[in-house]
Structure 1
Amino acid sequence: MEYLYLLQNAITWVVTIFWIYNLAISLCSLIKLKDKPLKINKQHKFMAIIPAHNEEAVVGNLVESLKKQNYPKELLDIYVIADNCTDGTARVAEEAGAIVLKRFDSEKKTKGYALQWFLKQKIEENADYDALCIFDADNIAMPDFIKNMNKKLCQGEEVVQGYRDIKNPTDTWITAGYALFYWTMHRFYHLARYNLGLSPLLNGTGFMVKFDVIKPDGWNTKTLTEDIEFSLINISQGRKLGWATDAIVYDEQPLGFKQSWTQRMRWSVGHLQCAKYYLKDLARGVKEHKTLMNFDGLLYLLGMPILVITLATLGINLAIYLGEGMTKLELLLNYLKYIGTTFLLTPLTAVFALILDRRPIKPMLKGILCYPLFLGSWILINIKALIKPDTKWEKIEHVRSIKAHEISE
């Protein structure tokens, strides 16, 4: 019994320190920094890259939004990779004004492989571009997206994540859960770390990479979460990622629980793959670079193990109770402490993010009430990913055909 008490206390301290660390960093999101000075004053040449698999319903709207950027048209080329398509994606993209490349590979089907295939060609061509921006086909880019990314380049930043907003936050409780998750992460994770001089992470779409960063090794991701993997590669090499709140892209979220489960399972499995491949690199980076940025990246990968450790604490408490080392009331209070954090603190944090970002709360009430269920299901997803990871890539259907002017109205 004594060993169980020691283990319980040790785990409690580890988990407490982990969350105090993250809480302390999140407070840095309240700081408003001065804009960085420009290192150069130049309009760079960009390529917008859109990997698309059977996206005829939405890809045209994204291309249209990119054609209407407040940026010189001759300095932006729009490429759509029609990846293993069996529908009219290529035709729709061409009609909207994109340069379309068709790719067919029955084995290598993920977005990461499509990017690898495309960028290998551009590197071999020694294509005349300064930077690239990557989008998902269901996105809508706001008119100043490229202009604001160009500003980041002029400030000396090389890899920058834009602000990923939500097309359909109030469609269902699932889309509302995604919206609250992203808005909270943008505010308390990415912005906070950027303000503190740490590194935010790429989150799938709407990000910019200086072409010189890609040229030496190409795009060689191998996990289901190529965005996180690419982020961790850069962090382990000592490169800090940037954050651009005013480079806004809108993204569609799954409507139903089944699709959401599939998507989030892919993310969780990808997280574990990243831990497998890059935990040592990040640990080595901590030793070599001796910066908080590398340590912070390492802690990100340890987030899922910390969750498992937290759940193990519940089992340890039960074992102590069954061994008559704890009263029923003490067991109940301990359980409420952990469950309360998940089911009470997280919705309050989301509401705080809404207030700070000056977003209306009333339309999101359903999402706020269901947010604990959304995050609770993610705990089950993480457990399943640990026990039986599924590395098969499954497409998420996109059906929300929304144009840029409909979002801004």
Structure 2
Amino acid sequence: MQFLYFLQQALVWLITIYWIYQLVISLFALVKIKDKPYIVDKKHKFLAIIPAHNEEAVVGSLIASLQDQSYDSKDYDIFVIADNCTDKTEEIAREAGVNVFVRTETDPAKKTKGAALQVFLNTILNNPEADYDAFCIFDADNVVDKHFFTEMNKHLCQGEEVVQGYRDIKNPDDSWVSAGYAIFYWTMNRFYHLARYNAGLSPLINGTGFMVKMSAIRDEGWKTKTLTEDIEFSLKTIIKGKKLGWATTAIVYDEQPVKFKPSWSQRARWTIGHIQCLAEYTKPLTRSTFENKTLTNFDGLLYMLGSIPMFVITILLLLLNAVFYLTKGMSTADFTLNILKFIIPTFILPIFTALFVMIIDKRPIKKMIKGLVLYPLFLGSWLLINFKCLFKRETTWEKIEHVRKVDINTINKDDKK
């Protein structure tokens, strides 16, 4: 029993130190820093890539928003990857006047966004006439702020090679589920990505609305093998000793599930992808931390260790508390206090953190009240997903249906209300 007590204390200190570190870094989200100076001053040429599998309901709105950029249209091209489409996605893209890359794949294991990007980008890299400086990736359900390329061009001029734009939500108040996503992303955008960028550390790319300089993949191409190709590419960049950038003013609006079942499937895929990255990149991240001796590498390592491993440690602590209580080694008062130490920071504190973010970012609160109240349910379901994925891991890509056809002008009007 004494061993279990020492184990409990060690785990408590481990979690405490971890969260103190996270708290200190998050404070940088409240600091305003000066813009970086330009290293070069030019208008770069961009390649906009839209991986799309049966997205006829929404891809037209994304294309329209990309064609209406403040950036000179001669300085960017739009490509839709019609990935095993059986609907009118290809037809809609061609009618809109953009380029289409048709991909047909019979292997279920290769019917993924990462695989589609790998094939397409390798084609671009092997094309001597392709003179792009950087590419940007957008999910087909997105719509994009008209200044997106202008803002990303600034970051290229500042010498940044991989930059994540601000991932906003185009349907935050459709349901408590989409509200949960919105609250999660708004919080992460400020207290994870912006905080790390301001602190001189590395944010992460986040699925859509990000920019990569062509030279960053020139040598080895786009090679990812997990279900979370965005996190994987971020970690590979950090392992090389490089930092990713963050562009608050390069905004992309993403559609989120409104029903619980597809949300469960999507978040389970993300969790499995994190587990795959944990298995694949923990050792290289550890090695790079000792070799490069930078806080950026250490922070990237903590990101991986702070996901599933920290979740497992928390479960173990709860079990130890239960054992101590049931064997009369802990009083009811102490047991209750320890449970509250789990419940309050896990379910209650995030509500107030999100509310604080919404206030300082000038988000409309009234229409998000239901989402705020049910946010603990959204987070709690994610814990259940993590637990389930420890034992059962489906690696088949399940399509999330996108039907919310919203144009950028409608979103801009809503933001001003």
Could you state the TM-score of these two structures normalised by the residue count of structure 2? 0.97
Q: Which amino acid aligns with 1:221?
A: T
What residue in structure 2 maps to residue 42 of structure 1? 42
SS in 2 for 1:78: strand
What residue in structure 2 maps to residue 123 of structure 1? 125
Q: Does 1:399 align with 2:399?
A: no
Q: Does 1:245 align with 2:248?
A: yes
SS in 1 for 2:362: coil
Question: Which of residues 89, 111, 119 in structure 2 aligns to 1:109?
Answer: 111
Q: Which runs of 5+ in 1 are unaligned?
A: none
Q: CA deviation at 1:335?
A: 0.9
Q: CA deviation at 1:329?
A: 2.2
What residue in structure 2 maps to residue 325 of structure 1? 329
Q: Does 1:353 align with 2:357?
A: yes
What residue in structure 2 maps to residue 160 of structure 1? 163
Q: Which amino acid aligns with 1:138?
A: D
Quick one: distance in 2 between partners of 1:336 and 1:295?
30
Q: For residues 66-215 of structure 1, what are the structure 2 equivalents within 5 Å?
A: 66-107=66-107, 108-126=110-128, 127-215=130-218
What residue in structure 1 maps to residue 345 of structure 2? 341
Quick one: distance in 1 between partners of 2:288 and 2:8?
31
SS in 2 for 1:387: coil
Q: Which amino acid aligns with 1:191?
A: L
Quick one: distance in 1 between partners of 2:176 and 2:98?
35
Q: Does 1:228 align with 2:228?
A: no
SS in 2 for 1:301: helix
SS in 2 for 1:125: coil
Q: Which amino acid aligns with 2:407?
A: K
SS in 2 for 1:5: helix
Instruction: State the Cα RMSD in Å.
Output: 0.7
SS in 1 for 2:126: helix
Quick one: distance in 2 between partners of 1:398 and 1:318?
44
Q: CA deviation at 1:113?
A: 0.4
Quick one: distance in 2 between partners of 1:140 and 1:283?
38
Quick one: distance in 1 between partners of 2:101 and 2:138?
15
SS in 2 for 1:358: coil
Quick one: distance in 1 between partners of 2:251 and 2:8?
44
What percentage of aligned pairs have identical amino acids?
61
Quick one: distance in 2 between partners of 1:97 and 1:311?
53
Q: CA deviation at 1:97?
A: 2.1
Quick one: distance in 1 between partners of 2:273 and 2:93?
29
SS in 1 for 2:390: helix
Quick one: distance in 2 between partners of 1:142 and 1:337?
41
SS in 2 for 1:198: coil
SS in 1 for 2:370: helix
Q: Which amino acid aligns with 2:93?
A: A
What residue in structure 2 maps to residue 20 of structure 1? 20
Q: CA deviation at 1:74?
A: 0.9
Alpha-carbon displacement from aligned partner over 1:246-285 (angstroms, at most 9, x marks no partner): 0000000001000000000000000000011111111111
Quick one: distance in 1 between partners of 2:382 and 2:412?
31
What residue in structure 2 maps to residue 309 of structure 1? 313
Q: Which 4+ residue blocks in structure 1 deviate beyond 2 angstroms?
A: none
Alpha-carbon displacement from aligned partner over 1:338-375 (angstroms, at most 9, x marks no partner): 11211211111111111121112111110110001100
Quick one: distance in 1 between partners of 2:97 and 2:49?
13
Quick one: distance in 1 between partners of 2:97 and 2:316?
54
Q: CA deviation at 1:385?
A: 1.0
Quick one: distance in 1 between partners of 2:387 and 2:210?
30
Quick one: distance in 2 between partners of 1:237 and 1:399?
39
Alpha-carbon displacement from aligned partner over 1:195-245 (angstroms, at most 9, x marks no partner): 000000001000000001111101100000000000000000011000000
Alpha-carbon displacement from aligned partner over 1:71-121 (angstroms, at most 9, x marks no partner): 111111000000000000000111122101110002110000000000111
Quick one: distance in 1 between partners of 2:133 and 2:344?
49
Quick one: distance in 1 between partners of 2:182 and 2:410?
18
1:57–1:401 contact (8 Å) kept in structure 2: yes
1:136–1:205 contact (8 Å) kept in structure 2: yes
Q: Which amino acid aligns with 2:25?
A: I
Quick one: distance in 2 between partners of 1:4 and 1:384?
26
Q: Does 1:262 align with 2:227?
A: no
What residue in structure 1 maps to residue 32 of structure 2? 32
Quick one: distance in 1 between partners of 2:314 and 2:165?
32
What residue in structure 2 maps to residue 366 of structure 1? 370
What residue in structure 1 maps to residue 53 of structure 2? 53
Q: CA deviation at 1:320?
A: 0.8
Quick one: distance in 2 between partners of 1:182 and 1:106?
34
Q: Which amino acid aligns with 2:50?
A: I
Quick one: distance in 2 between partners of 1:372 and 1:142?
31
Question: Which of residues 257, 282, 305 in structure 1 aligns to 2:285?
Answer: 282
Could you state the TM-score of these two structures normalised by the residue count of structure 1? 0.99
Q: CA deviation at 1:29?
A: 0.3
1:63–1:97 contact (8 Å) kept in structure 2: no
Alpha-carbon displacement from aligned partner over 1:108-152 (angstroms, at most 9, x marks no partner): 100000000001111111311100000000000110000100110
